[in-house]
Amino acid sequence: MRLFFQPLRELAQKYSIVQSAMASAERIFSLLDQKSSLLLTTEPLSAKNPRGDITFHGVSFHYEPKKPILQDISFTIEAGKTTALVGSTGSGKTTLVSLLLRFYTPQKGSITINGTSIDRYSLTDLRHAMGIVLQDIFLMQDSLLANIVMDSGVPRKRVVSLVQQAGIEGFVAKLPEGLDTRIGEGGHALSTGEKQLLAILRALCKNPQILILDEATAAIDSESENLIEQVIAQSWAKRTSLIIAHRLSTVKRADRILVMEKGRIVETGSHQELMEQSGLYAQLVKVDEEQADDSAL
């Protein structure tokens, strides 16, 4: 009897798994079938190598009516310079990036690159021209090299060159098989800082003109943060860079810092200039340093 019922029990278990998978697949296909609300131009311009200033002109945006996220935002990210966005959670920093990548369209105002509205560019070209590093990175159960290249056709020599340019040969050398070291799904064998280094290398593989770092150092230790700052300094030179940071030590070297509060830009300047103003930025830096001191105890 045991031999008879065992297969039936296994079949019942598999049926439950299949039902769960079918429900998940239904939700995925429903999402894929949704039509984009973006208005795409019929004659898009190439954005394979966009250069020039990125400017937000009086941009306002809301996800829900009467609940503004951004209110009449105007600023310029200078070409070849590093601009940082700081502010408390919910101030609208990440929404600005979403608009730049055209995940959404602002209800008011416009965004231009070198004077041309981003609405006129090919959406595929525009996004390919930007390298973005997020706080969370998806890693496959494959080699380190495969996770960096992501089936983009970038040759191994290019990755080795990027590792050398970034000054992180030591990080790769300490792995059992270097770039060929296999990592588990989700990169569970790597530290958070090491995952972020992979994310930066992945972004640099595209050789983008515009680089975006969105809260990428929020959950890493000081040693990893220092290494990432080194990578940014060496690899991001002459690129137009936008850094969104929770930990303000990351943005001190930025050419320009924009301070956001409740969907508006309330302060702007270099780190030194903003500290001398003794305003919101100076308060945020003080809180950040106190938290760093507490975690060191």
For residues 297 and 285, what is the distance between their CA atoms, to the nearest angstrom? 19
For residues 189 and 127, what is the distance between their CA atoms, to the nearest angstrom? 30
> Which residue is it, tokens 């270099």?
270
Mean pLDDT of the chain: 82
Q: Would you state the pLDDT for residue 271?
A: 92
| pLDDT (tens place) for every residue of the chain, 297 residues total | 666 667 777 777 777 787 888 888 888 888 777 766 666 666 777 766 667 889 999 999 999 988 899 999 999 999 888 899 998 888 888 899 999 999 999 999 999 998 889 888 888 888 888 888 887 788 888 888 888 888 778 888 888 888 887 777 777 888 888 888 888 777 777 777 778 888 888 888 888 888 888 876 655 666 666 767 777 666 666 788 898 877 777 788 888 999 999 999 999 999 999 999 988 999 888 887 776 655 555
Give 268-286 pLDDT, tens digit per residue: 999 999 999 988 999 888 8
- Does 35 reside within a domain? no
DSSP per-residue string spanning 70-133: EEEEEEEE-TTSEEEEEESTTSSHHHHHHHHTTSS--SEEEEEETTEEGGGB-HHHHHHTEEEE
Q: Is the CB of residue 118 less than 8 Å from the CB of residue 111?
A: yes
- Does 157 reside within a domain? yes
- Does 208 reside within a domain? yes
- In the chain, the number of structural domains is 1
For residues 277 and 273, what is the distance between their CA atoms, to the nearest angstrom? 7
For residues 167 and 232, what is the distance between their CA atoms, to the nearest angstrom? 10
- Does 36 reside within a domain? no
Give 12-42 pLDDT, tens digit per residue: 777 778 788 888 888 888 877 776 666 666 6
Residues whose CB is less than 8 angstroms from the CB of residue 110 and which lie 6 or more positions away in sequence, other chains included: 57, 58, 59, 117, 119
- Does 174 reside within a domain? yes
Domain that holds residue 212: 54-296
Q: pTM for this one?
A: 0.77
- Does 13 reside within a domain? no
CATH code of residue 290 = 3.40.50.300
